[in-house]
């Protein structure tokens, strides 16, 4: 029963990713091109949902320990930069690739394939060992309580706003699945997944698949399948799904972008889905540094290409 709920949550997350605003490339591109930061704010809100939900579950005894992190090194910065460059080449991060695939941009099938190949070809001597740092929230209960209070008040306000919008719309689904609200659904479904099966991301599944079927490979693969199915269903329901043959250049870009994102993720270690929904919510320093390096690289790429 527990795993059935997890499968449902993964599918719902895929459906929401297809409608949401969780792509780091799109968020940085919006800042460069329009000066707005609505998509970046949506990413932060998704992280707030995760941290608040998991800390609440920990208080109720449903979560026994928080994720662990890594020391910040030169690998963290270089890995974040490579991850950002790969996402820019791909024109979507690992979240955005799932959204585009669900919309019928079939070239993005090669993004997870490229990610897998990047993880498989990554030098063994550069792979990081086990995590070395505990979550800050695990060691500072007073800070945890303040974050819970502030995040709880903010998210409660967001829920009230969401309900008001749902009432005002003739079709409530239009409000529920607006890009901003869908991003919040991603945060909530990920939180439920975390409580049920622990920390999970589809890039983690691809990495484990690349190193000879690591522990947890099977059930993580099923969650990945549910995530893809949800994204495709979301694309079909929104009328975006098509059967157009992708241009050869996009096949190359998606594969190379996936390879680079795989390399960067293993250097950090962690890809942007895990960094945003696991590392950043629990104040793991390596996740914040890597995401800053990733976003700075994407911003630089957008700026140079515009000029």
Q: What is the pLDDT of residues 57-86, one digit of tens each?
A: 776 667 766 777 888 899 999 999 999 999
For residue 188, is pLDDT > 50? Answer: yes
For residues 241 and 222, give the distance between their C-alpha atoms in angstroms, rounded to a whole number. 23
The CA-atom distances, in angstroms, between 17 and each of 38, 182, 232, 303 are 16, 7, 10, 26
From first CA to last CA, the distance across the chain in angstroms is 54
Burial of 103 (0-12, 13-18, 19+ CB in 10 A): buried
pLDDT of residue 254: 95
For residue 293, is pLDDT > 90? Answer: yes
User: Cβ(78)–Cβ(224) under 8 Å?
Assistant: no
pLDDT of residue 59: 65
For residue 147, is pLDDT > 90? Answer: no
Q: How many other CB atoms are there within 10 angstroms of residue 46's CB atom?
A: 27
Q: How many CA atoms lie within 13 A of 257 on its CB side?
A: 26
> Which residues, listed in sequence order, are joined to residue 69 by a DSSP beta bridge?
133
Ranking 35-39, 213-217, 282-286, 300-304 by mean pLDDT, the lowest is 213-217
pLDDT of residue 173: 47
For residue 208, is pLDDT > 90? Answer: no
């Amino acid at each position: 029963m527990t795993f059935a709920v997890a499968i449902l949550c993964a599918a719902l997350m895929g459906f929401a990713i297809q409608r949401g605003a969780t792509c780091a490339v799109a968020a940085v591109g919006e800042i460069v091109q329009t000066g707005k930061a609505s998509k970046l704010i949506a990413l932060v809100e998704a992280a707030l949902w995760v941290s608040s939900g998991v800390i609440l579950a920990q208080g109720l005894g449903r979560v026994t320990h928080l994720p662990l992190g890594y020391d910040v090194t030169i690998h963290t910065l270089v890995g974040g930069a490579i991850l950002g460059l790969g996402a820019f080449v791909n024109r979507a991060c690992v979240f955005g690739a799932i959204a585009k695939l669900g919309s019928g941009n079939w070239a993005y099938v090669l993004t997870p394939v490229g990610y897998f190949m990047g993880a498989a070809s990554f030098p063994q001597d550069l792979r990081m060992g086990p995590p070395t740092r505990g979550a800050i929230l695990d060691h500072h209960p007073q800070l945890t309580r303040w974050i819970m209070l502030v995040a709880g008040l903010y998210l409660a306000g967001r829920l009230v706003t969401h309900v008001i919008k749902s009432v005002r719309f003739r079709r409530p689904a239009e409000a529920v699945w607006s890009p901003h609200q869908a991003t919040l659904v991603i945060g909530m479904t990920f939180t439920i997944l975390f409580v049920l099966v622990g920390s999970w991301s589809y890039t983690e599944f691809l990495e484990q698949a690349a190193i000879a079927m690591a522990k947890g490979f099977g059930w993580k693969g099923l969650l990945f399948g549910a995530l893809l199915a949800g994204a495709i269903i979301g694309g079909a329901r929104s009328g975006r799904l098509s059967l157009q043959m992708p241009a050869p250049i996009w096949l190359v870009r998606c594969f190379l972008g996936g390879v680079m994102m795989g390399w960067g993720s293993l250097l950090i270690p962690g890809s942007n889905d895990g960094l945003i929904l696991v590392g950043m919510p629990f104040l793991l320093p390596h996740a914040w540094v890597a995401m800053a390096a990733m976003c700075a690289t994407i911003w630089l790429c957008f700026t140079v290409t515009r000029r």
